[in-house]
Amino acid sequence: MTRPSAGGRIEVICGCMYSGKTEELIRRMRQVMIARQPCRIFTPRLDTRYSEAHVASHTGARLEAMPISSIHEVLANVEDMHVVAIDELHFLEDSAEEIIDGCQDLADRGIRVLVAGLDQNYRAEPFPGMMQLMAVAEQVDKLYAICVRCGAYATRSQRLIDGKPAPTDAPTIVVGGLDLYEARCRSCYEQAP
């Protein structure tokens, strides 16, 4: 693990569905709160699976958060903050360049920026914003889940429609949980025709 600096930095928590990304973000933010550092947590308006005004993990852990649609809303709401957390970064409507520029701007202001999100979409292709942010971040933690088919380390999010792999021409962003997605390893992951 990288030794945290006193100034700004970017930390990325990524992985597939059910790998514990939000749980890890919440854990780090609880430490920030114990240290009484001024902080703010943001969650995409698009993600209403568990709550509209909280980051919430699949296991039920949650912290109050400000709903946003864009990195620009983050930039406008961080005055006097030392730490900023953004959950489900891949749900933001911004381009990859806007996300990178926004996070870099925050870190350049001396803010510790924590982001969590999927590194790959259901087609096992990288999310551009996450991919590029991982390249410029001071710290990247890639988490894994357990494959529901064989028990190996899972690194892919298998989207299902009526129990079958979603076609490759389906929308990239579909918010869902156990009803739509399974964690799978490389061997058990299925690409639809």
Q: pLDDT tens across 73-91, in order?
A: 999 999 999 999 999 999 9
Nearest 5°: phi and psi at 43? -135, 140
pLDDT at 9: 98
Look up 88 and say whether it is catalytic.
Answer: yes
Query: What burial letters (b/e) apply to 30-46, b meaning 16+ CB within 10 Å?
Result: eebeeeeeebbbbbbbe
Q: What is the pLDDT of residue 75?
A: 97
Residue 154 lies in a domain: no
d(Cα 101, Cα 63) in Å, to the nearest integer? Answer: 26
C-alpha angle with apex 116: 85 to 84, nearest 5 degrees?
10
Residue 192 domain-assigned (yes or no): no
Say if 49 falls within a structural domain: yes
pLDDT class for 4, splitting at 50, 70, 90? low
Is residue 183 assigned to a domain?
Answer: no
* Per-residue pLDDT at 56: 80
Task: List, for residues 11-45, the tens digit of each pLDDT value.
Answer: 999 999 999 999 999 999 999 999 999 999 999 99
- CATH number, domain of 123, equals 3.40.50.300
The answer to the question of residue 160 being in a domain is no
Domain count, the chain: 1
Mean pLDDT along residues 106-118: 97
DSSP calls for 129-144:
HHHHHHHH-SEEEEE-
* 190 belongs to a structural domain: no
Per-residue pLDDT, averaged over 130-136, amounts to 96
Tens-digit pLDDT profile for residues 145-180: 999 999 999 999 999 988 899 888 877 776 655 578
Catalytic residue (one of 11, 24, 88, 182): 88
Whole-number Å distance between alpha carbons of 112 and 103: 10
Q: Is residue 47 part of a domain?
A: yes
Q: Per the domain annotation, does 81 fall within a domain?
A: yes
User: Which residues form the domain of 16?
Assistant: 9-144
**pLDDT-based confidence at 7, cuts 50/70/90?**
confident
